[in-house]
Structure 1
Amino acid sequence: MRLTLVLLGLLSCLTLTPEAHSTQATVDVSPAPILFATWAHPGEFNAIFSVAQELSNTAPPYPIWFATTEERRAEVERAGMWFVSLGNESSSIDLNDQARLKDMYNGGPGTISALIDVLALIFEPRFYLNLHGGLVKAVEERRPRLMVVDSAMWIAYDVANNNNLPVAIIMPIFPDIWYSATNPTILVASGTGSSPRHFHFFDLLQAFKRKYVAPLFVIKSVLFDGLGKDKLALTGEFDIGSKILGRARAIISTCVWGIEYPFMHGPNLHLVGAIISPRGNDKDKTSDTIIEWINSADQRVILISLGSAARIPPVQLANLASALVETVTEQKVRVLWKLPRDQHDELLALIPSELIASSTVRVVSWIPDILLALAHPLVTVNINHGGANSFNEAVYYGTPQLILPYWSDCYDVAERAVDAGVGLAVRDGRHFEREEVKQFIRRLLLEKSFGLRAAFWGDKMRRAGGARRGAQILREVLEDLELEDVYGVEDAEVTTVKVIEDPEYVAGLWAVWKVVTLMVRSVAYGLRKVIQRLVDSRKIKTN
């Protein structure tokens, strides 16, 4: 009987297997055109360009068009990609618009005015209209299978959305900034300048303001101040995040869990660690002068790089310079300071001439390849402005850092640096004092824990995959698109986790928090009264 059943089973397998195989189509992922789009500013360009380079080197090779402004043409063409010109506007951040940059700097952590300034910068008409037209033309002429866009280039997302093209997003910032609209307030740390690991009552109020009040001011600016009027005219909507998160086939972010805080998200979010440009690992292509200077003495080096857009005010520049001069003398270290040329005279007037003459302090306007400097074993502290790229690069190379947050999300980056143990940060980048900075630098130089934590998280960053993992994810997206074509499946894209907060729950949470706070204060008040009575009674007995 058992033998009969076995024979019947084998017979059924033989008859069913061909039929089952006949329903499966052979999927051949043929090279498909891909259109990358980004701003030319390093903060947005570097990560997405590195992923595009990595993808262009995979087999089968994909025809890649790279859309950005003219200043990046030579770099794109050297990498073997087709260049799509988006005009001559150099950046989403106008470095000559010092008034706006100053307003963003003065906004501090999580202010509504700073948010409006950032949105106004993104939807600047001369950027939006010119770049929108160039992208529309590129899409109409080439009909890409997939668009890969930088998270700050809303123009590219709008073009993809209007043409019903699949889109993937490269996000060189911490993603919880984008997910605040789809998460409970208690999980939202972005924009508060605080951390969910030590979230206080006033931080909760700040998060409420950021999530519920700020959108009202954005709407007011759209209706009455013309914010994003060109976007509205071309797309008919002013979405600032939620639809993008749900429709994207992949969101590739340059961080790792553990440094990024936990929050609710969909399966399309991928954390791949710092995306380091391949040219940063090629020592033959960098200027030798900086490395030669670092190697010229067996002394530790403090590297200062405050971003290409940062212009710190005279008072803060003087405080930082004074703290560094004292540190150089006490700790026997050297300083390599990258500073815009228009601030050189101001800085040199604050530093003793003998330190410049002895090359103990070196001031430069540009470092051709800052990654090679960060990777150098003598560079033991990095002082930066809290930009996500600057932070991730320092972590990647295991360099402890001091963050002087410059604006907006830089304060959120600073909190992550402190929580991860990879560095220290001043509380307010607009008002730090000389002694505060000096003590922080001293701790970073002397306490081994910062170096160990930075090395640990650097290893985690490298193992996350970076540009190679990002390219692999894009290949998987293309394979999924090919499968959808083969089987005729539509609307298969993933969607983000959406949380609709219950108003009663939110109100109840606030009430519980308030009651607990009052109870603690009442107990403290009662204890003070008891202690005071004991002290008074002892005094009476003594008399």
Structure 2
Amino acid sequence: MAPPTRNILFLTNSELGQCNVALAVAEEFLRRGEFQVHFASFGPIASMVKGLHNRAGCAQMAQFHEIPSPSMTDLAIRSCVGLLYHKPGVKGAQEGFAKVGRAMESWRPSEYKQAYEACLEILDNVQPAMVVVDPILHVGIDACHSTKTRFTVLWPVPIKDVVVVNQPKAAVLWKYPITGSGFPFPVPWKLVLHNIYLVFRIVMTLAFGKSVPDELKNGKKPEGRTPFPLSNAYEKDALQLTPAFPEMDFPFEIPDNVISCGPILRECAPLSESEPDLDTWLQRPTILISLGSHVQLTEEIAVQMAKGIAAVLSKHPDVLVLWKLRYDWNSSVSFQKVLGPLITAGSVKVVSWIQPDIMSVLDTGRIVSYVHHGGANSYFEACKVGVPQVVLPQWLDTYDCATRVEWLGIGVNGSRKAAPGIESTEFSKALLHVLSDDGIRSKSAAMKQLCGKTEGRVVAHDQIVDFCSMH
């Protein structure tokens, strides 16, 4: 087979929550073999990109181009923001916005300029027929604008984040809960002024943020360029792809250039192949708990969750629990006291990492509830397999997810009072609720049927190819 003559370039951040959709679609492009696949991002995902052809089962490799600059994670660490944990409500949401602002401000003008120039050079060398860009990779969008390169925005999130600012009658102010607020949908009248105030605060953060100046070199300030003011990635001339169907979000008026692909997930081998031992253990109805790659629990919260699990299993002794927990539970006396006997009995399996894809665990059909932190990937995975969800929100968009699952009737917020902490009684009540509620089960099953109509990565591939051939 002759090598492809056209290039496609994926420009993305390196955090898994952002780049998973790009990896899934890039694998689809590799499988088809019509384009040479190029990936531009920060260092941390170089090895994943180089291994894409193995997952896609093809000889052609994706070419990786490193953007020499701190990643979003690096910026968060450098600015001492750490994790974005904050409470819901007006004060908590403002704290969340401030943390994001601080992280972005720590991106020094000389570093941003270096990343921008690297993106220009990559665009010039690759000469892509189409660029697929991550909506929060501002430097990538900036470079595409400067070179008048056509691009597609590949969103890893539900429709709200794509179109909320473009809703008629200024509905962003009074109808839709602002990200991080944890307000219900639609926003109750008593909270509308609070919602408006938070919109104003976000606008101020985006429009007036300024990068920390560079250090002087030989008494001179280096020439710089900054990401401020931050731009909105939605543009009417660019194709906008989202993993969410309209039925998976609050009601919106959706422009014609926003295409719902359905969950955009990576293809994975069945669990019986990728981890037969885990598959053998997973023979009874199981609660899966996985709070995302960034979440690290304190001793107190780990013990609260353990107490909640023990309470649930005392009422459902036939149920298993698979818990991905990044915490040294082996050496915690309090934790062992609560869950030790259940771990020894084989009812609870605690692991620091689930090696196979979470989707291969969900696809077994034995998961009866998925407990997650409200990240978009976890939300779409649960919808794809029709599993009731318990959301334990921690920051910004995860609060939206908790509101969304309750409004859609496919799950519950498991820490409404305690967030961003977790309290055992509230957590166990939420789990018991989803295990026994027929309405939640049937609405989750209907979501599975909806998501089964398409394969998101395939739809995204086809839409990009069509958009590419339009000009």
Post-superposition shift, 1:36? 0.5
How many residues are treated as equivalent by the alignment? Answer: 439
| Residue matched to 2:38 | 65
Q: Distance in 1 between matches of 2:26 and 2:237?
A: 17
Residues 498-543 of structure 1 deviation map (CA, whole Å, 9 limit, x = unaligned): xxxxxxxxxxxxxxxxxxxxxxxxxxxxxxxxxxxxxxxxxxxxxx
Q: 1:430 aligns with which of 397, 402, 420?
A: 420
TM-score (norm 2): 0.84
Q: Distance in 1 between matches of 2:400 and 2:300?
A: 24
Asked if 2 retains the 8 angstrom alpha-carbon contact of 1:109 and 1:407, the reply is no
Q: Distance in 2 between matches of 1:454 and 1:367?
A: 24
- The DSSP-based 3-state class of the residue aligned with 1:66 is strand
TM-score (norm 1): 0.74
Asked if 2 retains the 8 angstrom alpha-carbon contact of 1:256 and 1:271, the reply is yes
1:175 has 2:159 as partner: yes
Q: What pairs with 1:94-133 in structure 2 (closer than 5 Å)?
A: 94=74, 100-102=81-83, 104-108=84-88, 111-121=93-103, 124-125=106-107, 128=112, 131-133=115-117
Letter matched to residue 100 of structure 1: V
Asked if 2 retains the 8 angstrom alpha-carbon contact of 1:68 and 1:86, the reply is yes
Q: 1:337 aligns with which of 302, 323, 348?
A: 323
| Residue matched to 1:413 | 401
Post-superposition shift, 1:471? 0.7
Q: Distance in 1 between matches of 2:25 and 2:229?
A: 29
- The DSSP-based 3-state class of the residue aligned with 2:6 is coil
In structure 2, relative to structure 1, the CA distance for the partners of 1:318 and 1:283 (3 Å cut) is closer
In structure 2, relative to structure 1, the CA distance for the partners of 1:357 and 1:91 (3 Å cut) is farther
Letter matched to residue 114 of structure 1: G
Give unpaired runs (5+ residues) of structure 1. Answer: 1-29, 482-543
- The DSSP-based 3-state class of the residue aligned with 2:349 is strand
Post-superposition shift, 1:119? 4.1
Q: Among the aligned pairs, what percent are the same residue?
A: 20
Q: What pairs with 1:513-528 in structure 2 (closer than 5 Å)?
A: none
Asked if 2 retains the 8 angstrom alpha-carbon contact of 1:66 and 1:81, the reply is no
| Residue matched to 1:75 | 48
Asked if 2 retains the 8 angstrom alpha-carbon contact of 1:107 and 1:407, the reply is yes
Q: 2:141 aligns with which of 154, 157, 163?
A: 157
Residues 209-245 of structure 1 deviation map (CA, whole Å, 9 limit, x = unaligned): 232233224444428x669xx9x9436852331xx31
Post-superposition shift, 1:343? 5.8
| Residue matched to 2:309 | 324
In structure 2, relative to structure 1, the CA distance for the partners of 1:99 and 1:314 (3 Å cut) is farther
In structure 2, relative to structure 1, the CA distance for the partners of 1:131 and 1:459 (3 Å cut) is farther
Residues 46-71 of structure 1 deviation map (CA, whole Å, 9 limit, x = unaligned): 11111122133337x01221122344
Q: What pairs with 1:394-413 in structure 2 (closer than 5 Å)?
A: 394-413=382-401
Asked if 2 retains the 8 angstrom alpha-carbon contact of 1:36 and 1:65, the reply is yes
Q: Distance in 2 between matches of 1:236 and 1:193?
A: 28
- The DSSP-based 3-state class of the residue aligned with 2:370 is strand
| Residue matched to 1:196 | 185
Post-superposition shift, 1:326? 1.6
Give the helix-richer structure, 1 or 2. Answer: 1
- The DSSP-based 3-state class of the residue aligned with 1:44 is helix
Asked if 1 retains the 8 angstrom alpha-carbon contact of 2:87 and 2:394, the reply is no
Residues 443-500 of structure 1 deviation map (CA, whole Å, 9 limit, x = unaligned): 211222222211111221221441111111101111112xxxxxxxxxxxxxxxxxxx
Residues 194-222 of structure 1 deviation map (CA, whole Å, 9 limit, x = unaligned): 3434x212332232123223322444442
Q: Distance in 2 between matches of 1:447 and 1:261?
A: 22
Give unpaired runs (5+ residues) of structure 2. Answer: 54-59, 215-220
Residues 139-179 of structure 1 deviation map (CA, whole Å, 9 limit, x = unaligned): 12122222101122222111111111011111111232343
Asked if 1 retains the 8 angstrom alpha-carbon contact of 2:46 and 2:66, the reply is no
Q: Distance in 1 between matches of 2:229 and 2:208?
A: 12
Q: 2:352 aligns with which of 355, 365, 368?
A: 365
Letter matched to residue 134 of structure 1: A
**Greater Rg over alpha carbons, structure:** 1
